[in-house]
Amino acid sequence: MLDGMRKASQGPIGKVVMAVLMGLIIVSFAVWGVGDMLRGFTPDTVAKVGSTKISQQEYSNKLQSELYRLQRQIRQPLTPSQARALGLDAQVLDRMIDEAAFDERARKMGLAISNATIAQAVRDDPGLKGPDGKFDAGKFNEYLRDSGLTEATFIAQQRDVYLRQQLQYSLVEGLSAPQALTQALLDAQNETRAISYFILPAAAAGDVPPPSEAVLKAYFDAHKLQWRAPEYRSFDELVVTPASLAKPDSVSDADARAQYDKDKAAKYTVPEKRKLQQIVFPSEAEATEADAKIKAGASLDDIAKARKLSDADLNLGDVTKAGVFDPAVADAAFALPQGAVSTPIKGRFGFVLVKVLSITPGSVKPFDEVKGAIKQEIAASRAVDQVQSLHDKIEDARGNGKSVAEAAKSLGLTATVYNGVDRDGLDAAGAKVNVPDDKLVLPAVFASDVGVDDEPIATKDGGYVWFSVTKIEPAHDRSFAEVKDKVAAAWRVEEMAKRLAADAAEAVKKLDAGADIADLAKAAKADVKTAKDIRRGGVDGLTADVTAAVFQVGPTGAGSASTPQGRLVFKVTADALPPPTPGDPQVATTQDRLKSEMSSALVEQYVNALKRELGVSVDRRVMQGAEGG
């Protein structure tokens, strides 16, 4: 090609063409930059905050680090598509953008921190100290290895962290919760009310005649979103786990019996329990003296009273033999008959008298009762190696272009076909679809697309789930004809609720005018009930709607609220606010909580203002490239 270019450039026209071509190349270098030309014009900046850039590599590292942290927390592997479905990518980038905004402001303000200060802060970090309370270099090096950082990179990161903290501390230093706000919050938390109430049942709404077609159609049009069909997805799923591959029938009775004998004490035996009392004496002479008194007719309780022992000092509780701390006491106590008192026992902390109050015999599950479960466990254990082998074969098949269903068939397995499942695992009729590991699988299914070759999902029991989306039915409005029966039922429920609400409102007016709630309840053929010590946080027996309504009226007011049984009508009969107690720890706790919330809100407002001032841009294409999709 170069020879051709040289020959073409020999003539006058060729020279002109080559000059123009070289000019264009030079201009392109000037416009795009040499670096971009060499990289094939691929940018590597995920986001930019002012003049601070967040590179693709930085974002990818942070995202992977957060993904690993989350996996350790939930003890479950996560695929990139699942992480995106959880919004992990957006959370990581938002946090990095906030940090970049602080970094930009710190630079513009000329804030700095010395290496010596950072080194001292590292030495003072409690997480990097050894048992002697001093800085542990081994722990520090271990942290660097686990984080994939060099010491220089760590120091650079810490410098940014400390400068951000300086900025944040300057915002909230000296901030305190206003006394009036603290007291108002304490009053709201501690105020209690009592009510008398009765319930108007659904039957009190009377007979609701069926609506006309026009009324029903108008109701449908006004509530179309309620009848909107969600997005449905159809997909094939292949589950390969030790449990799914297990063949319990292949496990012999002899093998099951051997496992049963091995695990009998730990898994299938309920140990004997005894309710015990004991007294520990500082000397053998005192224990012998007490033993003589008991043999002469005194009780262990009499001895305890004479020694001024409390029930907590006397009672060991209902314990197994292994639950008794002192082996000598345990051996003696579990050799006694019920009601008996031991002779003096030389224990770890003195001489002991122990009494057996009651005995709960132990039990052992017979082999035949648990044989099936044992065979299943053994078979699942034997299938572990088979799972990994099948994993590799399935991945090879998919790598050769086979679908999940085809890969399953080629290995003598069967993929399950799911037709029309929504995000909540419901079908078009609203019935629950049995999707194994649905909490992991469904988010991944809805984060994927038709034709995408997704990674298998690792299950908690050491297996794998493969899936492929075969069809997507977008969310859409259902027609009136499709949901007419459901519309009619919903209209009737709402109509009955309106009638009950109107009757309840009339009753509330009468209560506010001085009527007796007992008379109103009697007219409604309902019973008057009471509830007391109601707080804004709720009380047993009352719904959250009722509790909210109780505190929406005055201290002697009346009101109503919807309940599953109908409509509750109430009258406040008592309103109490405990007086402030000097030194009440709740005051300090509330002030600290308010200060923390106020500080967080102030820092959030500041960083949002910073981002507006500096300007933020995000390249979604580069972001997706860093995520691998």
Q: Is 187 a domain residue?
A: no
Planar angle of CA 113, 116, 119, nearest 5 degrees: 100
In a shared domain, residues 126 and 99: yes
For 446-499, how does the pLDDT look when each residue is reduced to its tens digit (9 = 90+)? 989 998 988 899 888 889 999 999 999 999 999 999 999 999 999 999 999 999
Q: Considering only CA atoms, which of 466, 364, 476, 460 is closest in space to residue 415?
A: 466
CATH number at residue 425: 3.10.50
* Residues 456 and 514 reside in one and the same domain: no
CATH number where 81 lies: 1.10.4030.10
Are residue 465 and residue 419 in the same domain, yes or no?
yes
Whether residue 296 is contained in a domain is answered as yes
pLDDT of residue 386: 87
Asked whether residue 265 is assigned to any structural domain, the reply reads no
Contacts of 224 (CB under 8 A, 6+ apart): 477
- Does a structural domain hold residue 130? yes
CA separation (Å) from 321 to 268, 352, 609? 17, 16, 65
Domain boundary among the residues 420, 443, 473 is at 473
598 assigned to some structural domain:
no
Domain count, the chain: 5
- CATH number of the domain where residue 279 is located: 3.10.50.40
State whether 21 and 63 are in the same domain. no
Same domain membership, residue 60 and residue 23: no
In this structure, the answer to whether residues 457 and 549 fall within a common structural domain is: no
Is residue 196 over pLDDT 90?
yes
Residue 260 domain flag: no
Last residue of a domain, one of 407, 439, 473: 473
Q: Do 58 and 163 fall within a single domain?
A: yes
| Alpha carbon distance 534, 515 (integer Å) | 23
408 and 446, same domain (yes or no): yes
Residues 11 and 98 in one domain: no
Do the Cβ atoms of 427 and 433 come closer than 8 Å? yes
pLDDT, residue 75, reads 67
Other CB atoms within 10 A of residue 241 CB: 20
- What predicted TM-score, i.e. pTM, was given to this entire model? 0.52
Q: Has residue 97 been placed in a domain?
A: yes
Indicate the pLDDT class of residue 150, thresholds 50, 70 and 90. confident
Same domain, 281 and 334: yes
- Same domain assignment for residues 240 and 276: no
Residue range(s) defining the domain that contains residue 21: 2-38
Task: Identify whether the C-beta of residue 44 lies closer than 8 Å to the C-beta of residue 622.
Answer: yes
Whether 520 is covered by a domain: the verdict is yes
Mean pLDDT over residues 375-388, rounded? 86
Contact between residue 425 and residue 438 where contact means Cβ atoms under 8 Å apart? yes
Report pLDDT digits (tens) over 556-586: 999 999 999 999 999 999 999 888 777 788 8
Same domain? For 102 and 199 the reply is no
Show which of 473, 496, 529 is a domain's final residue: 473
Label residue 199 by pLDDT band (50, 70, 90).
Answer: very high
